[in-house]
């Protein structure tokens, strides 16, 4: 009886045919994918034109979740944000412009951080940022804007975003064109 149990256990561990081996690898792959997607990185589909010309509608973007990236949120990075007005159902792709504790001014189509002109090399030179306004960020708030300023619902309209609404940073566009986000 003990020999039969050892034989069955050996068959399970070391193989029981091609279908069984394939099944083990499929289950292992699914478990690893679920763990990685839950805790580390995820794929998100860009919905809309608010980040053009850098990110386009329907592109698949690889995201580093905030659990890893909490200390690495920097100005100019592309981030995924839960929309503060409906955080359960709406997620936006935006770029971090203002950091906690800073003052952000939009005046005559230009963005100023702490009263200094903020140059954004990733945007066309003739792009105008409207409407005018001033925002003083608290210690847990970020000011986010889309790259397509005339067609972006962002912090100019819904206010600064608390850090709890930031899901993570974009790493790479994976489809239809592969490119690292830091290159845009």
Hey, which residues are catalytic here?
Answer: 50, 94
DSSP state letter for 118? -
Q: Alpha-carbon distance 166 to 104, whole Å?
A: 19
8 Å CB contact between 98 and 137 = yes
Residues 6+ apart with CB under 8 A from 154: 50, 92, 94, 144, 145, 146
Distance of CA 130 to the CA centre of its chain: 24
Can you tell me which residue has the tokens 């592309």? Answer: 78
- Structure tokens, 14: 């070391």
């Amino acid at each position: 009886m003990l020999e039969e149990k050892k034989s069955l256990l050996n068959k399970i561990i070391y193989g029981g045919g091609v279908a069984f081996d394939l099944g083990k690898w499929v289950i292992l792959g699914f478990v690893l994918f679920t763990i990685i997607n839950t805790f580390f990185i995820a794929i998100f589909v860009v919905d809309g034109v608010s980040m053009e010309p850098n990110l386009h509608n329907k592109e698949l973007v690889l995201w580093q979740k905030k659990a890893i990236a909490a200390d690495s949120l920097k100005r100019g990075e592309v981030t995924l944000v839960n929309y503060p007005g409906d955080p359960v159902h709406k997620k936006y792709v935006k770029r971090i412009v203002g950091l906690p504790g800073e003052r952000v001014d939009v005046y005559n189509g230009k963005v100023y951080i702490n009263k200094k002109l903020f140059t954004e090399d990733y945007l066309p030179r003739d792009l105008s940022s409207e409407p005018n306004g001033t925002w003083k960020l608290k210690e847990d708030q970020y000011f986010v804007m889309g790259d397509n300023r005339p067609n972006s619902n962002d912090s100019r309209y819904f206010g600064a975003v608390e850090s709890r609404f930031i899901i993570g940073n974009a790493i790479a566009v994976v489809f239809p064109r592969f490119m690292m986000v830091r290159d845009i």
